[in-house]
Chain A
Amino acid sequence: MDTWTQPSFWLPLVFLFLMGVAMLAYVLLDGYDLGVGILLRRVTDPDRDRMIAAIGPFWDANETWLVLGVGILLTAFPIAHGAILGALYLPVALMLAGLILRGVAFDFRVKAHAHHKPWWDRAFYFGSVLATFAQGVMLGSLVTGFTHGWPETLFSLFIGLCLIAGYALLGSCWLIYKTEGALQLRAVRWAHTCLWLTGVGIASVSIATPWVSQRIYDKWFTLPNFLYLAPIPLLSAALFFTLETHLRHLPQRLAEQRPGRDWAPYVMAAGLFFLAFLGLAYSLFPFLIVDRLTIWQAASAPESMLVIFYGACVVLPAIVGYTIYAYRVFSGKATALSYD
């Protein structure tokens, strides 16, 4: 059970890694879709169409990463899937309702009666906010090990709010990349505001997490660990201020027709999320349910995991390949989503 040569030891690690990659990909990719949805009602119609056009060709595949992540949880760690999703029953149901509303509104808003469009836009907005908030609450409950006291509940609700700011940051940075003109300028302002909210969110979550969990406190604030881990908060801070400066000067630069690399804000925002993800992964490892269920206890039979592993080795590179291809096909500024 303890050596690297035994599949029952290393396969759960590999699948934990794969699940992490899928979840991170989901957060970074569908995060910007949901973020654009959160921002949708800040503008009126032609701009709304443009915002949706910026995510229209991508959201379907982006949401599939969630299915892959949950699928790996389901297939590689079946016991944890039941336990985690059972404990998160209500937020999961709310998230699904949100994703359903958001997903169908994409199509209904342009295909239904014109006078129904504002209602589908509301569904789009509401669904995005609800799904994001529920995901944040789920994350909060996961970190606190599904204990249901007042501090833990407040903590989870707070993370829900922070994630709304975080996704709105990703969304507005994506819009900086995909739009131009007045809408792009507004996206810069949104991104700037959301960056501060996200920064405050990440900082308070980082402070609160060791506070609600003694185990996480011990993992971070004992001596050699603290030094090894220092790069994560330091890099985050550096990235935060680089992005802050970049966004502060961007309106001026746009006015002078030197936009620079319009994808840079998104990449930096994604970097912030990546670092937060690393910190979180370190805090939780090797547990799927804090202090109760490790990845090895929850893993399914090695033979079954091997079958998926071989498949994933062949298919995942292909998926990454054609995903990159699709992003190249739809690179550049968003144009009208027309079917011809």
Chain B
Amino acid sequence: MSADPLILARIQFAANITFHILFPAISISLGWYLLYFKLRYTRTRDAKWLAAYGFWVKVFALSFALGVVSGVTMSFQFGTNWPGYMQKVGNIAGPLLAYEVLTAFFLEATFLSIMLFGTRRVSERVHTLATFLVAFGTTLSAFWILALNSWMQTPAGYEMVDGRAHVTSWLQVIFNPSFPYRLTHMLLASGLVVSFLIAGISAYRLLRGDKGAAAPATLKTAVYVAAVLIPLQIMAGDAHGLNTLEHQPVKVAAMEGLWATQKDVPAVLFALPDEKTRSNRYEIAIPHLASVYLTHSWSGEVKGFADFSYHPPMAPVFWAFRVMVGVGLLMLATSWLAAWQLKRKGTLHTWLLRTLAAMTFSGWLALVAGWYVTEVGRQPWLVTGVLTTAEAASTTPAPMIAASLAMYLLLYAGLIVAYISVVFYMARKAAHPEEKQEQGPAIKNATPDQPAPEGV
């Protein structure tokens, strides 16, 4: 077998983090949504908010479980796939990861069970507190891991001694130049993923003839939240882009499809970047626009690939960026239209419900595309200017990586299909509670002293 172990290790890690990020993106914001539903119920005593909580807490539990198991996998793959990473920057990555485990993971995992199964065992106040702590824990975990990820993008507050990074200032390490932008962008992305998930599933339930009061209430909440978050996200994304231009200009060159440094930079809407000829084919562009949004001047200069000795592959970054922006614009249109209709009539047209249902997991698409922009855009560096991905790779033989890669891919593909279909199945069940009998929790009806089957 002649496959390159580095490529295989990268595909394996990319597959794992791609799979992983889908679920924390849901649990981070869904936790806060649950807290909101819970508080609304406490305030109004309206049963629909309790029903909303009851339905979405199940989705939360499922998403959380998938996030945990893929997160455990990641904690091992740091070592199995990138041993050079911890050897070189372990003094920085180590404490950040350790703080994530210590301050966030245990908090989430422990209070999750009280939040899920403790309703009758603790007071309502403690249960609300548990819900808050779970939401807080997931967000805290995002804080630490994004601090580390941002440090890898724009390292600061360290010095190299004998080939290993040593911390000079933890404040600078954590609050490195890209961190505030990335954290904001990521938290808003999580908010949008969940808002479209809730809006989509609620719309789906209405389309399926749900007569309850919960689905319209959650639909309304999620649509309004999405309509507020999406313009904020566009602004945050723009600020993040300017920050990237300052600290990682080559990534912006890849996003914009710029091979040569130029003034009067056009915004390329469509092109096929060609690594061989180092030019774009079939380019469709709007003159001057990129200069305007990147440099805020009519003919500002932006550096292209030609000015850098290292650069990432252009096509994946270029395309992922367009997918992200495209989905974002679609979200803007849909959420504003839906918010406007809800405001005016209180209900939504069937076609808009269908659009929302179709867009249930659109947040995932934008999220993963955006993640690829920033992670592929950092290549060939693992830690910008400090460590390349190739240097950090392990010496594990290719066939072994290939075998485990095949296993992971199979598992992840199966689980994503299972997750999506189960979420829709749960929505159908919730839409028609009278048919629920087929599968109640079996324990309730079980007689404790029924004869046990034979066997050890």
Instruction: Specify the main secondary structure of chain B where it touches its partner.
Output: helix
- A96-B73, A103-B69 known; A68 vs B102 contact (CB < 8 Å): yes
Assess whether B247 is interfacial by the CB under 8 Å rule.
no
Query: A104 and B71 in contact (CB under 8 A), knowing A300-B90, A307-B95, A311-B102?
Result: no
Counting residue pairs across A and B whose Cβ atoms lie within 8 Å, the total is: 258
Name the one of B102, B438, B441 contacting A319, with C-beta atoms under 8 angstroms. Answer: B102
Whether the Cβ atoms of A78 and B452 lie closer than 8 Å is: no
Query: How many angstroms between the C-alpha atoms of A18 and B188 in the bound complex?
Result: 37
* Structural contact, A112 and B422, CB atoms closer than 8 A: yes
Q: B119 near A340 (CB under 8 angstroms)?
A: yes
B449 within 8 Å of A (CB atoms): yes
Question: Given A78-B86, A304-B94: A186 and B452 within 8 A (CB)?
Answer: yes
B404 at the interface (CB under 8 A from A): yes
A98 shortest CB reach to chain B, Å: 10
Whether B444 lies near A84 (C-beta < 8 A) is no
Q: Which residues 67-116 of B have a CB within 8 angstroms of A?
A: 68-73, 75-76, 78-80, 83-84, 86-87, 90-95, 97-99, 101-103, 105-107, 109-114, 116
Please provide the chain B residues from 399 to 449 with a CB less than 8 Å away from any CB of chain A in the complex. 400, 403-404, 407-408, 411, 415, 418, 421-422, 425-426, 438-439, 441-446, 448-449
Closest residue on chain B to residue A68 by CB atoms: B101
Task: Assess whether A255 is interfacial by the CB under 8 Å rule.
Answer: no
CA distance A334 to B94 in the complex (A): 38
- Least CB distance from B174 to A in Å reads 11
Question: How near does chain A come to B105, taking the closest CB pair, in angstroms?
Answer: 5
Is A60 positioned at the interface, with any CB of B under 8 Å from its CB?
yes
Which residue from A181, A301, A329, A338 sits with its C-beta under 8 Å from B448? A181
Residue of chain B at shortest CB distance from A112: B422
Known: A337-B117, A338-B117. A53 touches B443 (CB 8 A): yes
Interface contact A56-B113, CB-CB below 8 Å: yes
Whose C-beta in chain A lies nearest to the C-beta of B447?
A: A46
Q: Are B68 and A103 in contact (CB under 8 A)?
A: yes
Give the distance in Å from the alpha carbon of A303 to the alpha carbon of B92 in the complex.
10
B296 within 8 A of A: no
- Asked whether any CB of chain B lies closer than 8 Å to the CB of A212, the reply is no
* Most chain B beta-carbon contacts within 10 A, residue among A63, A189, A300, A311: A300
Would you call B97 and A71 a contact (CB within 8 A)? Answer: yes
| B94–A104 touching, CB < 8 Å | no
- CB-based nearest A residue for B89: A78
Stretch at the interface among B56-64, B231-239, B285-293, B360-368: B56-64
Question: Which residues of the partner chain A approach B106 to less than 8 Å between Cβ atoms?
Answer: 61, 64, 68, 319, 322-323
Residue picked from A104, A181, A311, A337, most chain B C-beta under 10 Å: A104
Interface core residue of A99, A190, A307, A330 (most chain B CB under 10 Å):
A307
Taking CB atoms, residues of chain B closer than 8 Å to A78 are 86-87, 90, 94
B154-194 residues at the A interface, CB under 8 angstroms: 164, 166-167, 170
Contact B110 A323 (CB under 8 A): yes
Residue B125 CB within 8 A of the other chain: no
A43 contacts B by Cβ under 8 Å: yes
Contacts A50-B443, A66-B72, A308-B95: A86 and B117 contacting too (C-beta < 8 A)?
no
**Using Cβ atoms and an 8 Å threshold, which residues of chain B touch A319?**
102, 106-107, 110
Kindly identify, within residues 170 to 185 of chain A, every residue whose CB is under 8 Å from any CB belonging to chain B: 180-183, 185
Fill in one digit per residue for B357-378: 1 if any A CB lies within 8 Å of its CB, else 0: 0000000000000000000000
Check if A261 is an interface residue, CB within 8 A of chain B: no
A281 beta carbon closer than 8 Å to chain B: no
Name the A residues within 8 Å of B394 (CB-CB): 82, 86
Selected interface stretch from A87-95, A149-157, A215-223, A243-251 = A87-95
Choose one: B84, B109, B167; the contact of A64 (CB below 8 Å). B109
B3 at the interface (CB under 8 A from A): no
Interface presence of B450 (CB below 8 A): yes
Known: A50-B446, A96-B76. 18 other contacts (CB 8 A): A43-B452, A64-B109, A72-B98, A75-B97, A78-B87, A79-B87, A81-B83, A108-B62, A110-B441, A303-B167, A307-B95, A311-B103, A319-B107, A326-B113, A330-B113, A336-B441, A339-B58, A339-B119
Show 10 residue pairs from A and B whose CB-CB distance is below 8 angstroms, ordered by the A residue. Answer: A70-B75, A70-B76, A71-B75, A75-B98, A103-B72, A110-B441, A180-B448, A311-B102, A319-B106, A322-B111
Q: Which residues of A contact B (CB under 8 A)?
A: 42-47, 49-50, 53, 56-58, 60-61, 63-64, 66-68, 70-76, 78-79, 81-86, 89-90, 92-93, 96-97, 99-101, 103-104, 106-108, 110-114, 117, 180-183, 185-186, 189-190, 193, 300-301, 303-304, 307-308, 311-312, 315-316, 319, 322-323, 326, 329-330, 335-340
